[in-house]
Amino acid sequence: DTGVSQDPRHKITKRGQNVTFRCDPISEHNRLYWYRQTLGQGPEFLTYFQNEAQLEKSRLLSDRFSAERPKGSFSTLEIQRTEQGDSAMYLCASSLSAGSGNTIYFGEGSWLTVV
């Protein structure tokens, strides 16, 4: 499978615990995006990378959230001291380098439930 891969697909955690999600983009895709989606809503932008450089972070991304892409390939999204409001699906997407018209492909998402 050469699509965007996310792991784990589902995670249940207790409030206050830390969780980490991993995203493997499509090979040779330089752009990598993280989004969050709650039920009945469209995906909300969190952050994105060009290679290893983090270009922008949404104000939705509190200090408890951190994303990295250390080698410009896979990326991790860590949530510290999880809260019930963090329960959502976390989506990763990738595309070729910047430029209009580069199709953006999404993974199947990582579901987080904070209990």
Partner 1 sequence: GESVGLHLPTLSVQEGDNSIINCAYSNSASDYFIWYKQESGKGPQFIIDIRSNMDKRQGQRVTVLLNKTVKHLSLQIAATQPGDSAVYFCAEIYPNDKIIFGKGTRLHILP
CB atoms within 10 A of CB 38: 12
User: What is the phi-psi region of residue 105: left when phi exceeds 0, alpha when psi lies from -120 to 50, beta otherwise?
Assistant: beta
Restricted to residues 51-70, the positions that interact with partner 1 (CB under 8 A) are: 55-56
Residue 42 or 70: the one with the smaller Cβ distance to partner 1 is: 42
Map tokens 């060009």 to a residue.
Answer: 50
Tokens of 34: 């993280």
Q: Please identify, among the stretches 11-19, 60-68, 69-77, 107-115, the one whose residues bind partner 1 according to the rule CB under 8 A.
A: 107-115
The tokens for 55 are 């270009």
Site string for partner 1, 19-38 (x = CB under 8 A): ------------x-x-x---
What is the rounded CA–CA span in Å between residue 3 and residue 105? Answer: 8
Name which of 79 and 93 has its Cβ closer to partner 1.
93
Rule CB under 8 A: which residues touch partner 1? 4, 6, 31, 33, 35, 40-45, 48, 55-56, 91, 93, 95, 98-101, 103-109
